[in-house]
Amino acid sequence: MAIVVPYAIVTVRLLVAIVFRRWTQALIYGFLTIVLHFAPDVYIVATASEVPDKLMDSFYFIVFIFAAIAVQGIIMKVRKQRKAIT
């Protein structure tokens, strides 16, 4: 749960950087957002000793779905903010 606050801060900064077309900052915050988004999942995979293949496949699928939802949410927020600015 400690990862939630840094992830939220970095995601907001990513959105602001994209909306105002600050591409260098967007690249940095985008990288940090990806790292913080997947950090809990990497921890789970790294610490799991023996997990059945079907369970791991399900876990990877869920991670993919949540990542896709997160990307879609960022795209929608950027579009909304850009419309509000113009």
Domain hosting residue 55, numbered range: 4-85
* Interval 25-42: pLDDT, tens: 999 999 999 999 889 888
pLDDT at 9: 95
Split into its structural domains, the chain has a count of 1
Long-range CB pairs of 63-69, under 8 A, 24+ apart, other chains included: 63/38, 67/37, 67/38
Tell me the percentage of the chain whose pLDDT exceeds 90: 45
Do the Cβ atoms of 7 and 33 come closer than 8 Å? yes
d(C-alpha 47, C-alpha 27), whole Å: 30
Helices marked H in 1-86: 4-19, 23-47, 53-85
- Provide the 8-state DSSP code for 50: S
Question: Average pLDDT by consecutive 10-residue portion of the chain (86 residues)?
Answer: 90 92 93 91 84 86 91 89 83
pTM as predicted:
0.71
